[in-house]
A and B are shown apart, each in its own frame.
Chain A
Amino acid sequence: MRVVTWIVAALLLATGASAKDMLTLGVTLEPDHLDPTAGAAAAIDEIVYANVFEGLTRFDETGAVKPQLATSWTISGDGLTYTFALKPGVKFHDGAALTSADVKFSFDRARAPDSVNAQKGLFAAIDKVEAVDPQTARVTLARSEGALLFNLAWGDAVIVSPASAAGNKTNPIGTGPFRFQRWVQGDRVQLVRADARAKLAAATFKFIPDPAAQVAALLAGDIDVLPNAAAPEALQQLSVDRRFEVAVGTTEGETILAINNARKPFDDVRVRQALSYAVDRKAIIDGAMYGYGTPIGTHFAPHHPAYVDLTGLYPYDPAKARALLQAAGLAQGFKATLKLPPPSYARRGGEIIAAQLKQIGVSVEIVPVEWAQWLSQVFRDSDFDLTIVSHTEPMDIEIYGREKYYFNYRSDPVRAALRALDRTPGEAERFGLYRQVERLIAEDAANVFLFQLAKTGVWRRGLVGMWRSSPVQANDLTGVYWLE
């Protein structure tokens, strides 16, 4: 009798009570470490952003900037001084109270000459940071920076404590609703509830690199959620399975066929336009992404209010593409290499693009590369003709104005418009300038703009509050809970 009672109790523990406030997520990549202020890997933010670490501001699910550790702020008339009022009563997970000294420490550390912050540019306009009183921090800018509040919402700008910052790579200590508990390298990271904001008692991120194994783990009940299912081919099957809910949302990932604008023959705008006409975006989205993805005609997220739909500028038209090549003196076509990094959008999309370019006489040699090679050969040394990559940083159209950037695009009107953006804090004017840049780069056919990556999440029915879209690569679990 006693044995039976024990077994029943154990079963209840295993299935009922405990399962309803615990969550297990499957993610593809394991981060190298867990400090978002010392690495660019999206895998870091996927675990700690908004869960463990918080910034003065943050992004919500729509990508809008919201207050987080700062409850309010005032901006001086010249736009150069921001005064932030900190949320009272906030504590780091090691018990230390959050004060404006931590804000000063975090930003000064990110800006320092020996800083290893991956997005140091976010802080470039800052001249000094002062702790006015324990609850008030003042940031003074050397030049106006219309995007400061946006910049401070990035995971790279979270507030850390001087007492724990050095250990954040393996023992991250922040102010978020979840506290870091354990990292079993190669296997999982466990977070537990730090305060009442978290509805879940615990969350586990399991690292499952193989796309098919991710789906199997979900079907077997080993995990509850795949925030970004790596196997789009399985979504059809999962969406008709009543146990699961499939959510297709948006990301900030503009996927492009990047062109080395400095290399012949791509320095000729007619050649770049010919490539744009030769590529059938729909075939790529259907063939490489199983239909998940939104076509884009410029380097901007379609869900953003400042987006201009330019997909009609270069409709799929191989005849026109051939005519443009002829005009450029390349009637015989030419040869080019296409370097493809590991993600499936690139490897699968690259095969389709190579076939499409063949139609207009461009014979493409496909060169698969791993990320390390891509970063050093393509990104650092600009040693490429064509490549496919998804630019996942939010609002990154400013890369078209950079002095030295891997695709070597150069346009004075674009640079002038981007400089004007830096000086403009007003939203309506900013949107106008963005639209102007969007048009300019599309007319120049700086790259072939393919599609916006979709976020394809799958989770067990009854789970509420998961992000459907991801303006940053994050899994904010604060509002996530199980329906009884």
Chain B
Amino acid sequence: MKNRLKVLRAERDWTQADLANKLDVSRQTINSIEKDKYDPSLPLAFKIARLFQQSIESIFLDNEA
């Protein structure tokens, strides 16, 4: 699943570690999501959406859509 996490993070001038701290996950998790190696759970996806004040579907893009 593609996502816009890296772009959204860069717009706010946050490092991966900053975002990891805000979401209470490891930097490794942020890096893996940004590189499309790992799809986050629904609760984490909601947390990300809340943090960036956007809808989940505007951050995470369905490959099959």
A and B: interacting chains = no
